[in-house]
Amino acid sequence: MVLLHGFLVDSRLWQPQLERLSAEFTVIAWDAPGAGQSADPPEPFGIDDWADCLAGLLDAVGVESAHVVGVSWGGMLAQEFYRRRGERVRSLTLAGTYSGWRSSLGAALSEERLANCLRDASLPAAEVVAKYMPGMLGESATQAAREELARIMSDFHPAGFRLMAMSSAEVDTRDILREIRVPTLLVWGDADARSPLTVARQFHAAIPDARLAIVAGAGHVSNVDAPAQFNAVVRDFCAGGDASAMR
C-alpha cells in the first residue's frame, strides 16, 4: 500500500495509517520531491514528473504493484500515476481530491487559489499554518491532531508548495476517470471545505463502479480527522471485500 500526501504536508500525515494498517499490509508513505526529507525538484516540474518519481521509488524498493491511496494533491498524483502506469495499480483510494482545481472547482476559484498559494509560499511558516489550517480539518478533529498537523505544515517547502499548487491548477484528469478499470474507493469528509461533496459526486458519477464512503464530521484530510473510520474502510476495501465485488 502506497500513501500519497497533499501539499504543505509530508509522509508524517499518514502516521495513523502507518500505525494501524502495517499489521496487514506493507505500507509505504513517501515524501514527494519538494516535501519532508526529499529534495526540492527542479523547475518546471509537473504532475507527470512526480508520477515518474513514484514509479522510480517503487522500482527501488522492488514493488511491482500496489494499492495506491492519495489525499488531496496526492489523489491527483494517484490518478496521473494510474494514467501512466496503470498496470502497477491494484486499486485506487482517492480522498478529498480533485480532477484538477479548474475542472473540479471552476476557473475563477482555481485562479484565486493559485494566486494565493504563489504569494503565500514566501510567508513565514506560522502565517501559512494559520491561514491554511482552518480548511484542513473539521470540528471532529482532536486538539492533538490539530497540533500535530500544524507541526507538520510548519515544515513545508516553499518551492514544493509553489510547484504542487501550480500542478493542481494545471492538471486535468477528467479524461482518465471513465477509463479507470481497477477497484476505486472515494473517501470524503462531509465537512470538507476545500473539496466539497459536490466534487465527490463528480468522481462517483465518472468512475465506473466506484464506491463512495462519506466520513461524518471530517474535513479535508479525513485520515487525520477520523483515523479509525478511515482506516477501517480502507482496510476492508484493500483486503478484498469491497474490491473483489467491484471487479
In this prediction, residue 244 carries a pLDDT of 35
What single string gives the DSSP state of each residue in 124-192?
-HHHHHHHHGGGT--TTS-HHHHHHHHHHHTT--HHHHHHHHHHHHH---HHHHTT--S-EEEEEETT-
In this prediction, residue 240 carries a pLDDT of 83
What SS3 class is residue 194? coil
pLDDT tens-place string over residues 217-242: 999 999 999 999 999 999 999 998 54
> 468522481: which residue's cell?
203
pLDDT tens-place string over residues 34-77: 999 999 999 999 999 999 999 999 999 999 999 999 999 999 99
Q: Confidence band (pLDDT; 50, 70, 90) for 140?
A: confident
Closest CA to 164 of 190, 201, 132, 126: 132
pLDDT at 246 over 50: no
In this prediction, residue 241 carries a pLDDT of 56
pLDDT at 92 over 80: yes
With contact defined as beta carbons under 8 Å apart, do 192 and 225 qualify?
A: no
What SS3 class is residue 227? helix
> 504542487: which residue's cell?
164
Residues for the chain: how many in total? 247
Q: Does the reported pTM lie above 0.85?
A: yes
What SS3 class is residue 19? helix
Q: Confidence band (pLDDT; 50, 70, 90) for 12?
A: very high
